[in-house]
Amino acid sequence: MTDEQALAHTFLNPNGTLKNKLGIHDKADLDEHEFVQGSLVGLRMLQRGFKIASVDDLCRINRALFGDLYDWAGELRNYNLTKQQTLFLPPNVFDNGIRSVNAEITTLKRQSRPQTAAYAKLLDELNYLHPFREGNGRAIRILIELLANEKGQYLYYDAEDDEFIQALYDSKVDVLTRKLHLTTLAIE
């Protein structure tokens, strides 16, 4: 059995849906459950002002989003992961990637009003790290939104934008910077 076959056996049902705690085998049902649960948890975190300090918080976010569905939620992957011809950071060098991401978070937190480019650079590094089996994009988006909110900013982007997605795969920070939208929150 190849590594890819072993991973498929570990994570996928015979029909290709992710194995999950609820026994959902229909992809549309699983996607809907992920969306609803993820939206509610993400909104709750944003409303409560969950504070970000490191990659550990990304693990907590992923666990909160998907812990009711997947045993591996919030756990760093220990295998290679490829998506659309992109090989994400190999797990044997996660320590370096995590240090780099944590340094970016610290730098961003020290700035009074980070610029869009700082968030784009962090987004790029987090995407390359791609630490989880599933839900990286959603967890990363919430982490970055929380960081922006800590600075009195609102950051948003269209995660369905093809150019944006391609820029993530190609690590084009300039395109990500252009695609991110950042505004200052009005404090009343």
180 in Cβ contact with 155 (< 8 Å): yes
Kindly tell me if the per-residue pLDDT of 74 is higher than 90.
Answer: yes
Q: List the structure tokens of 98.
A: 């995590």
169 Cβ partners below 8 Å, 6+ apart?
Answer: 83, 84, 85, 86
pLDDT at 115: 94
Distance CA 5, CA 10 (A): 9
Query: Using one digit for the tens of pLDDT, what is the confidence trace for 155-164?
Result: 988 878 899 9
Query: Using one digit for the tens of pLDDT, what is the confidence trace for 47-59?
Result: 998 999 999 999 9
Distance CA 64, CA 165 (A): 24
Q: What is the DSSP string of 149-184?
A: HHTTEEEE--TT-HHHHHHHHHT-HHHHHHH-EEEE
Which CATH fold would you assign to the domain 3-184? Answer: Fic-like fold (1.10.3290)
State which H helix or E strand residue 87 sits in: strand 86-87
pTM above 0.85, yes or no: yes
Q: List the structure tokens of 49.
A: 């002002």
Kindly tell me if the per-residue pLDDT of 105 is higher than 70.
Answer: yes
Kindly tell me if the per-residue pLDDT of 69 is higher than 60.
Answer: yes
pLDDT at 4: 76
Q: List the structure tokens of 95.
A: 């320590």
58 in Cβ contact with 66 (< 8 Å): no
Q: List the structure tokens of 100.
A: 């780099």
82: which strand partners? Answer: 87
The SS3 assignment for 79 reads: coil
| Alpha helix ranges (H) inside 12-115 | 27-48, 55-66, 94-110
